[in-house]
Amino acid sequence: MDDVSHQPSRMSAVQHFDVIVLGAGISGLVAAAIFSGEGKRVAVVDEYSHVGGNHMDWSSRAGYTFDVGSLIFQDDSPLLRHFPELLERYVHIKPSWGRLNPQGKITLYPISIRDDILAAGPLGVVRIFASVLYARLFRRRMENARDFARYWIGAYLLHRSGLGTYMQRFYGIAAEEIDLDLARKRMLWISEYASIINLSRRFLKRKKASGPKNRQMARPREGFEALYSLARCKLEGRGVVFTLSAEALHLSRASTGYELVHKGETLVAERVVSTVPISVAERICGNVQTSGLKTITLITLYFSFSGDKGFSQAIIYNFSHEGAWKRLTVYSDFYGRVDGREYFAVEVIAGQVDSCEEAEADFRRHANANRLFLGDLKLEGSHTLANAYPIYAKGAAQDAARAISRLKAFGVESIGRQGGFNYQPTARVSTLDVENAVSSQ
């Protein structure tokens, strides 16, 4: 961990601010940076005991450092406009991605011309193109993610590639239940790969000339605290007050604006911006009517290993039709081995399995069946994270919009990945979303 430490801020019974920001994740930190940069008095409040939100890590006594999830940053991210001091703490990496397909082969991510199309054989190739033609002619109406994917690559390749199965793993619901708009945002690559010209170019390995690419980065080896403590120090230097481990919060209207009560202390502000899950904001505001929006609970398993992994890539997605796990990340590829052992994290959506023990047993069975991790595989730890990200079911976007409207009527501006129910795959997107949301007010 970083040597910068913080003591909880001492506040009087009532303290006044211009803005209260709910949530100390990326969205909350960026919002606090914008407001404090304008000279406003800001309080950041979070139920977590740390800043960074769901950017979490876990370290073992043996020296392994794992993340909850697979988090990669870029050196041209707009996040660095607000916190340029973070750049020197990142570790530059050259990640590679692969996927386990339904045929039991580690191949290219997200699709392989050779292994998904040509390996199907002459009859299979005919079926693939016939399926695509049928979809383009008779399946033009799209209502969900499955319809979207089927239109572009056909039902046969959708199944053969394992994409349909992976969609269910990632979103926690069947592809037929996934919102169409989210599918368009998340899976634009499908239409690109479905282009005959692009398919030919990839198969012939012809690439367009391109300019300099951004560099990929990971958090410091010590963990996220070593990174986000710098952001916290900067904000505290501007007068931002952090109140963490703040449970049982209650927000109410007052003559002077809004009052947020926590353990007998009261924070008063003219403006409240929420970046926490909508359901959490509804609870804090004491709303009788709640949205009923659902979120993913993510189980992360932490392993160390010695032997033959069966692949060379740092990140592997599970596109096979078996196994509950959806992605694994080999962190020793970024930070080096510990005592000669590699270490990696495996992500599993709760629901397909009900406990960390079931998740571990399922992963071991599936890995063994596909001849992966042949050697000494040891579970080092695990973590279960509620509210990892929203479930984008059909109709959920409309329910979220109504809930956000109710919060706004109460006086709370709900923004960000969780608060705005927006799909945000990177810190870049989260930063831009908050900048746009705050500037539009």
**pLDDT of 290:** 76
**pLDDT of 265:** 87
The span from the CA of 423 to the CA of 354, in Å, is 26
Catalogue the E-assigned strands of 38-150.
42-45, 57-59, 65-67, 73-74, 91-93, 97-100, 106-108
Question: Is beta strand 298-308 parallel, antiparallel or unpaired with respect to 374-385?
Answer: antiparallel
The span from the CA of 28 to the CA of 275, in Å, is 6
> Degrees (nearest 5) of the Cα angle 73, 74, 75?
130
Compute the 3-state secondary structure of the chain and give helix, strand, coil in percent, each to the nearest 5.
40, 25, 35
Helix, coil or strand: residue 281: helix
Residue 45 contacts residue 20 (beta carbons within 8 Å): yes
Question: Is beta strand 374-385 parallel, antiparallel or unpaired with respect to 342-349?
Answer: unpaired
Residue 31 contacts residue 21 (beta carbons within 8 Å): yes
Distances (CA, A) of 120 to 10, 103, 129, 157: 66, 10, 12, 10
Edge to edge, the sheet with strand 73-74 lists 73-74, 216-218, 91-93
Which residues are CB-contacts of 84 (< 8 A; sequence separation ≥ 6)? none
Tell me the CATH architecture of domain 14-55+67-90+218-293+391-439: 3-Layer(bba) Sandwich (3.50)
Amino acid at 227: L
Exposure letters 326-337 (e unless 16+ CB within 10 A, then b): bbbbbbbbbbee
**pTM > 0.85: yes or no:** yes
Residue 229 contacts residue 89 (beta carbons within 8 Å): no
**pLDDT of 441:** 58
pLDDT in tens, the chain (441 residues): 344 344 444 445 789 999 999 999 999 999 999 999 999 999 999 999 999 999 999 999 999 999 998 889 999 999 999 999 999 999 999 999 999 999 999 999 988 989 999 999 999 999 999 999 999 999 999 999 999 999 999 999 999 999 999 988 888 888 899 888 877 777 767 766 665 445 555 555 555 545 457 899 999 999 999 999 999 999 999 999 999 999 889 999 988 899 999 887 899 999 999 999 999 999 999 876 777 888 899 999 999 999 999 999 999 999 999 999 999 999 999 999 999 999 999 999 998 898 999 999 999 999 999 999 999 999 999 999 998 888 888 888 899 999 999 999 999 999 998 999 887 778 888 898 899 988 755
Q: Is 157 exposed, middle or buried (0-12, 13-18, 19+ CB in 10 A)?
A: buried
Structure token pair of residue 12: 């009087």
Structure token pair of residue 380: 């080092």
Helix, coil or strand: residue 128: helix
Residue 20 contacts residue 269 (beta carbons within 8 Å): yes
Q: Rounded to the nearest 10 degrees, what angle do helices 26-37 and 427-439 cross at? A: 40
Residue 99 contacts residue 110 (beta carbons within 8 Å): yes
DSSP single-letter state for residue 116: I
Which residues are CB-contacts of 30 (< 8 A; sequence separation ≥ 6)? 79, 82, 430, 431, 434, 435
Beta-ladder partners of 241: 43
Helix, coil or strand: residue 144: coil
**pLDDT of 207:** 52
Structure token pair of residue 30: 């960026």
Supply the Cα-derived Rg of the chain in whole angstroms.
23
Q: Is 139 exposed, middle or buried (0-12, 13-18, 19+ CB in 10 A)?
A: middle
**pLDDT of 2:** 40
Start-end of H helices in 214-322: 225-237, 278-285
For the chain, domain boundaries: 14-55+67-90+218-293+391-439, 111-203, 297-385
Distances (CA, A) of 17 to 40, 233, 256, 407: 8, 19, 11, 20
Termini Cα distance of the chain: 38
Q: Residue 117 CA to chain centroid, in angstroms?
A: 30
